[in-house]
Structure 1
Amino acid sequence: MNFRQLALKNIQGNWHRYVAFFLSSAFSVMVFYMFGSFIYHPDVVNGHIIAASLVKQGLAACQVLIVVFSFFFVLYASFAFLKTRKKEFGLLTLFGMTRSQICRLMFYEQMMIGLLSIGVGIGAGMLFSKLFFLAIGRLLQTDSPIRFAVPPQALLQTVVGFLALFLAMTLFAMLSVGRSQIIALLRAAKQPKKPPVASPWLTALAVFCLGSGYYLAFTTSKLIMVLMLPIIFLTVLGTYFLFTQASVAIIRRLQSMTGLYYNRTNLIAISQLAFKIKDNARTLFVVSVLSAVILTASGTIYVYYKNADNQLVEQFPNTISFTEQGLGASKGIDPDKIKAALAAEGASLKKEVKITGVQVPLKLHGSRVSDTTALLISEADYNRAAEGIEYAAPLQIRPGHAVFSYPYRMGDVVLMEKGSQRTVQLNGQTWPLEMDGQVTGGVINLLDEAIGLLVVNDGEYASMMGKVPDDRKIVYYGFELDRWQDHLDTVAKVKKSVPEEQRKQLFTRTSVYASSKQSSSLTLLIGLFVSFLFFVASASMLYFKLFTELQEDDHQYRALMRIGMSVPEIRRIINVQIGLLFLLPVVVGAAHAAFAYKTLANLLSINVWSYGTLVISIFAVLQFGYFLLTRRAYMGQMKSL
C-alpha cells in the first residue's frame, strides 16, 4: 500500500468527520464559481447586458468576501481535524514513520479532499449557473434569457484560488505536526482537565459590556456612525466573556440548586456541560458572532427589499409630476392632456395636486449659510397635498412661524431645531420666521434644487407671494394613480405621448421604481447566497467540535453504562448537550440581531420587527435541522449506543 492509497483509506474510514467540511467547502466553491461565471460571461464582458455593471461589481466584492471567509474556515477545520489525529500520528511515529512521511500523508489527504471539493463545487456551480443566470436576467429585465456559458476565466480563477487556499492550509497543518513531540502527540487526548472556574470580575465585565452595547444600540440613532464601532467592540467582547466566564458561573449556580441538580440524570448532564461549554467556549463565541452577523445582514437586506416601495413612495408621493416656471407663461406640458391620456389607458386618479411656490435660501441645522434652498408653500397647499398620506399629519401654523418638511425619514436627526430663527428675503423685503421644527416624509416630488418645503401661514404666504414677480413663481403639478404598480406600462405610454422636447420636465415614479426594485431584488439574491454560505460554515464548526471529542465521549458513556445507566438516559444527556451547543449561538446571535434591528428601526423610523422575526425564525429552523442531522450522525458513530 502506498501513501496515496493509505490517505484514501484514512479519508474513507473517517468520512463522518470530513463530510461537513467537504460540503461546506464545495458550497463555497459553487457560489464562488457561479458569481465568477456571471462576471466573466461573454455577454457581460462585451457589454451586451447593459444593466450588468453594478451587479458585476457587487459579485466581485462578494467573491473577495468568500475567499477571506473560506481561508479562516478552512484554517479552523484543518486544526480541528489535526487535534483528533494527534494520537494516530504519534503511533505512526512509534512504528517508524518519519515526520516527513507523516506530512506527506497529510498532504495527500488534505489535497484529495480539497480537489474533490473543487471538482464537486464547480460541477454543482455549472449545474445551477443556468438557474442563476435566469434569476439575474429576470431581475435585470433582459430582452432574452442569459445564455448558458462556462467562462474559462471563472473556471481558472476558481481552481487556482481554492487550490492555493487548500495548499496553504495543508502547509500550516504540516508545520504544526512537524513541531510536535511524539509524547505530546500520544498524550494529546489524555490531557487532564481542570475543573472550570469563573472569574467574578470577568463575569461582571461580560454583563457590563453586553449591557452597555445593548443600551447604546437600543437608544442611539443620531450618532450611529460614530457609535457603531464601540457597540460592535462591546458586544463582541461581552460575548467572549459570556461563554468563557459567565457560562461557567451560570452552571455553577445550577449545581448549587440541589432540587434541579440531583434530579435524575441532571447531575451527569450538568457536570459534563460545565466542561463541554468551557472546552467549546471559543467555538461557541465564534459561531454566535457569525450568527449575529448572518441575522443582522440578512434582516437588513430583507428590510431594505420589503421597504423599498414604501421609501420610494415617501420620497416621491406622486406617480407623475412636473413643474412650470412662471405664472401665465406659455404652457409646456398640458395637465389636461396628461389626465386624458391616463383615462384613455384605464388608469384612475387617486389624487391631483397643484401648488404654487417659490424657491428661497434656507440654512439647515449644522450647515453653511444659504447652502440649500427650499420651496416655500402655504399651509393650506401642504395640507391638501398631505391628504390620504398616513405619515403626514395636517399642519396648523401661526403667523410669524414656519415648519420645515423633509422628504426622507432620518430617525431623531434634527435638520431644523424648534424655536430657531430663520429669515426669508423676497424682492427686497424681509420676513423673520420662528421655526416650529421639522416633519419628515414627502408630500410632493422634490426634484430640482429644493431640499425640502418651507411651510408658512396662509396669510403670510399671500403677503410673501405678492412681492414675488410672476416669472419667479413655480407651479407644481402632481398626479397619484390608484394601484400605481399595476400601471407601469400606462405611465410609460403617457410619457411617450409628451413631446420629446418637454419629456425631460416630466418625472415618473415608475422609472425610479424599476431600478429600485431591480437593485433591491439583486441585493436580496446575492445576500441570500452569502448568508447561507456563512450559516453552513458556522454550523459546520459545531459539527467539527463534536466529532473531535467523539472518542473521548464514547469512553465516558460506556463507563456510565457499566455503572447502570440505561441507553435512553444516555441519549437524553446527549440530546441536552448537543442541543445546547446548537441552541446557545442561536439565542445569543438572535439577541444581538434584535438590538441591531432596533437601531435600524430608530434610524429609518419604520417597524422592522415583523421582518426581523421572520429572518430569525428561518435561521432557527435551519439550525434545528442541522442539529437533527448532526445528532443522527453522532449517535451513529457512538459504539456504545
Structure 2
Amino acid sequence: MNFRQFAIKNVRGNWHQYIAYFLSSVFSVMIFFIYAAFIFHPDVMNGHIYAAKGVRTGMMFCEYIIVIFSFFFILYSMSAFLKSRKKEFGLLSLFGMTKGQMRRMVLYESIATSLLAIGAGIALGALFLKLFLMALSEILALDHPIRFFIPGKALLLTAAGFFVLFLIITLFTLFQVGRSQIIDLLKASKKPKSPPLASMWLVLLSVLCLGAGYYMAYTMTLSNAILYMLPVVGLVVVGTFFLFTQASIIVFRFLQRRKGIYYKQTNLMTIAQLVFKMKDNARILFTVSVMSAVILTASGTFYVFFLASKEQQMDLLPQSISFYEKGLNTHAVLDPDKVRTILKENDVELAYEVKLVGAVAELPVVGRSTDTTTALVVSENDYNDYGQKLHRGRPILAVEPGHAVFVIPYSEVKQPMTEIGKPLPVQVEGGTKELSLTVNSQVSGGAIAYPRSDATELLVVDDAQYQQILQAVPDDKKMVVYGFEMKNWAAQGDTAAKIEALVPEDMKDAFDNRVAMYLATKQSMGLTLFIGLFISVLFFIASGSMIYFKLFTELDEDRDQFRSLNRIGMTLGEIRRTVTMQIAIIFFVPCAVGIVHTMFAMKALGNLLSTSAMQYSLVVVGIYIIMQSLYFFAARRSYLSRIIKSFTS
C-alpha cells in the first residue's frame, strides 16, 4: 500500500466525520454551479431573456456570498477534523511518521475529498439545472422556458474556483499538523477538565442585554428604526454570547443542587456531562443560535414580503385602475367611457367605481423637510362612502363645521403630520380667501388613489363646508379622481394593459395601474425568495454541521466514558436515553434561542410594515424545526452507532 492509498483509506475510515462536511461542500458547489450556469447562459448574456440582467446581478451577488461562506465553513471543518484526530496523529508519530509525511497525508486526504465533492456537486447541479431553469422561467413569467444549456465557463469556474479554495484552506490548516508533542497528542482526550465557572454579574448582563434588545425590537417604528437597528443587533448578540458561556452553567449548577431532579434515573450522568459540554460548546452554540436567527429572519422577511405584496399594493393603490384630471370633464388623461367599453369587451366585472371631485389646498405640516403640503379637500359623505368599499375598510368619520380630518396614504405612519386641535391656515387653489380649519385627528390609510404631484393627502370636511369651498373654485381648477376596481383584478393584466395604452405619454404620471405594479412586485419578490431560499438552506446545513463536527470531536472521550459506565451496570437503554438527551439539548437549545430572536425581529418588521408578520414567520419557523429535527435524528443515529459499536469491539 503506497502513501496515497493510505491517505484514501484514512478518508474511508473517518467517513463518519467527513460526511457532514462532504455533503455541505457538495451543496455549496451545486448551488454555485447552478447560479454560474445561469449567469453564463448565452440567452442571458445576449439579453434575450426579459429581466435577466437584474436576476444575473442578484445571482452574482449570491456567488460571492457562497464563496465567502464556503471559505470560513471549510476552514472551521478542517480545524475540527484535525482536533478530533490528535490521538491518531500521536500514534502515527509514535510509529515513526515524520511531520512532513503527516502533512502530506492530510494534503492527499483533502485533495481526494475536494475532488469528490466538486465532482458530485457539479453532477447534481447539472441534474437539477433543468428544473431550476423551468422554475425561474415560471417566476419571470416567460412565454418560453429558458432552454437547458451547460456553459463551459460555468464548469471551469466552479471546478477551478472550488479546487483553489479547498487547496488554500488545506495549506492554512497544514500548519496545525505536527506542531504538538507526541505525548500531548496521545493524551489530548485524557487531560482533566477544570470545573466550569460563571459570573452572576455576566449572567445579569446577559439578561439586561437581551431584555433591552427585545424591548427595542418590540417597540421599533419607522421613526426610530434607524436609531434602534444597530443597538438591537449588538445587544442581542452580546446577550446571547453570555447566555451560553455564563447563564447555561448557572442553570445546570442549579439543577445539580435540586436533588429531586439530579438523582432521578440517569439525570446525574446527563446533567454532570452537560455542565462541561455546554462550557466546551458555548462558542459553537452561540454561533449556531446567531446563524439560526439570521437564517429565520432573512427567510421570514422574504416570505413576508412575498405574501404581503398583494395587501401592500391594495393599500397603496386602492383601485385597480385609477387616474386624476385637472378640470371637470376634460378627459385629457382618459375617457371613463372608454375604460368601461374595454372592461365590457373583455368580460371583466367591476366591484365598484369611484368618481370624486375635490379642491387642492395647501396647509402647514410638521416633521417634514417642507413646511407645507398639498391635500385634496373632500366631503365626509364621499370619504365614508368609498372608504367602506375597500378590502380593509376605513373608519366612519363625523366632521363638525370648521373642523377637518387629515388623511394620509401611508398606513405605517402613526405620528401626527400636522398640528392637532389647533386652527390652521388653509389656502384653496382657485379660492378667493384663506380658510381656517382645526384638524381634529389624523387617519393613516387612504380611500382613493392619490395624485402624485398636485395632492398627496386628503382633508375631509363636513358636507356643507365642502359645498361652500367647491362653489368658490372655478371648474378648471377642480380635481377629479377616477377609480375602477375590477373583480379578480390580479388576473386582469391584459385588460389593464389595454386601458393603459390609451393614456397619452405626457399623462402617464396621472395614471396608476395596480395590476402591472403588483405583477412586477410579485415577480421580483418571488425571484428574491427563490434565490434566497438556496442561500438559507446552505447556512442551515452549515449550522447543523458545526454541531455535528463538535459532537464527533468529543466522540472518543464519550465512548470511553460510556464503556466504563456500561461495565459497572449502566444499560444500553439508559446510555441511549442519556446520549439522546445531551444531543437534543445541544441541537435544539440554540435553535430555540434563534427562534425567540426571530420572533422579536418579525415583530419589529411587522411594526415597520404595519402588518402582522408573525403568522407568516411561523410557517418558516415550522419548516426550520422539521429540518433541524431531521438533522438531529441523523446525527443521533450516527453518534449512537459509534458509541454502541465500541461495546462489542
Alignment correspondent of 1:30: 30
- Could you tell me how far apart the structure 2 residues matched to 1:126 and 1:270 are? 48
Q: 1:258-291: per-residue Cα shift (whole Å, max 9, x none)?
A: 1111111111111111111111111111111111
Map 1:136-147 to 2 at 5 A: 136-147=136-147
What displacement does 1:179 show?
3.5
Q: Cα gap change, 1:175/1:38 in structure 2, threshold over 3 Å: closer, same or farther? A: same
Aligned to 2:49: 49
Matched, 1:262 2:268: no
For 1:549 and 1:356, locate their aligned partners in 2 and report how far apart those are by CA, in whole Å.
76
Q: Which residue of 2 aligns with 1:471?
A: 476
What is aligned with 1:102?
102
DSSP 3-state at the match of 1:478: strand
Query: Is the partner of 1:408 in helix, strand or coil?
Result: coil
In 2 relative to 1, CA 371–68 (structure 1 residues): closer, same or farther, beyond 3 Å?
farther
* Aligned equivalents of 2:540, 2:97: Cα separation in 1: 39
1:411–1:604 contact (8 Å) kept in structure 2 = no
Taking the aligned partners of 1:573 and 1:596, their CA distance within structure 2 comes to 35
- Over 3 Å counting, the alpha-carbon distance change for 1:113 and 1:431 in structure 2 is same
> Offset of 1:445 from its aligned partner?
1.7
Q: 1:362 to 1:136 in 2, by over 3 A?
A: farther
Match of 1:592 in 2: 597
User: In structure 2, which of residues 434, 437, 455 is the aligned counterpart of residue 430 of structure 1?
Assistant: 434
- Aligned pair partner of 2:402 in 400, 403, 426: 400
Work out the CA distance in 2 between the residues paired with 1:266 and 1:68: 42
Residue 486 of structure 1, CA deviation: 3.5
Q: In the alignment, which residue of structure 2 is the partner of 1:160?
A: 160
1:182-201 aligned within 5 A: 182-201=182-201
SS of structure 2 residue aligned to 1:355: strand
- The AA in structure 2 aligned to 1:423 is P
Q: 1:359 to 1:112 in 2, by over 3 A?
A: farther
Relative to structure 1, the CA distance from residue 160 to residue 497 in structure 2 (aligned partners, 3 Å threshold; closer, same or farther) is same
Change (3 A) 1:592 1:120: same
Q: Alpha carbons of 1:289 and 1:502: their partners in 2 closer, same or farther (altered >3 Å)?
A: closer
> Contact (CA 8 Å) 1:361, 1:370: kept in 2 or not?
no
Shift in Å, 1:551: 1.0
1:640 aligned to 2:646?
yes
> Within 5 Å, which residues of 2 pair with 1:417-566?
417-419=419-421, 422-426=424-428, 427=430, 429-449=433-453, 450-496=455-501, 506-566=511-571
| Structure 1 residues 37 and 376: alpha-carbon distance in aligned structure 2, compared to 1, 3 A threshold | farther
> How far does the alpha carbon of each residue in 1:284-311 deviate from its partner, in whole angstroms, 9 at most, with x for none?
1111111111111111111111111000
Tell me the secondary structure at the aligned position of residue 128 of structure 1: helix
| Residue 619 (structure 1) aligned with residue 624 (structure 2) | yes
> How far does residue 493 in structure 1 lie from its aligned partner after superposition?
4.0
Give the letter aligned to residue 86 of structure 2: K
The 8 Å contact of residues 333 and 511 in structure 2, kept in 1 or not, is answered as: no
**Which ranges in structure 2 are unaligned for 5 or more consecutive residues?**
none
> 1:11-160 to 2 correspondence within 5 Å?
11-160=11-160
1:391/1:107 CA distance change after superposition, 3 Å:
farther
**Cα drift, residue 171 of structure 1:** 1.7
Aligned equivalents of 1:515 and 1:330: distance in 2? 28
How many Å separate the matches in 1 of 2:7 and 2:402? 86
Contact 1:362–1:369 (Cα < 8 Å) also in 2: no
Q: Deviations over 1:38-68 (max 9, x none)?
A: 1221111111112112212221221111222
CA positional deviation for 1:189: 2.0
Q: Does 1:203 align with 2:208?
A: no
8 Å CA contact 1:379, 1:456 repeated in 2: yes
Letter in 2 for 1:396: A
Identity, % of aligned positions: 50
For 1:418 and 1:371, the matched residues in 2 are separated by 15
Matched, 1:575 2:587: no
> Is contact 2:356–2:481 with CA below 8 Å preserved after alignment?
yes
**In structure 1, C-alpha distance between the alignment counterparts of 2:569 and 2:120, rounded to whole Å:** 47
Query: How much does 1:502 deviate?
Result: 7.3
Distance change in 2, residues 1:372/1:5 (3 Å): farther
Preserved contact between residue 557 and residue 640 of structure 1 (Cα < 8 Å): no
Taking the aligned partners of 1:206 and 1:501, their CA distance within structure 2 comes to: 60
Q: 3-state SS of the aligned residue for 2:400?
A: coil
Structure 1 equivalent of residue 173 of structure 2: 173
Pick closer, same or farther for the CA change 1:287–1:330 going to 2, 3 Å. Answer: closer
CA contact under 8 A between 1:542 and 1:582: conserved in structure 2? yes
Any conservation in 2 of the 1:30–1:121 contact (CA below 8 Å)?
yes
- CA-based RMSD: 2.1
Give the conservation status (yes or no) of the 8 Å contact 2:452–2:509. Answer: no
Task: Tell me how many residue pairs correspond in the alignment.
Answer: 641
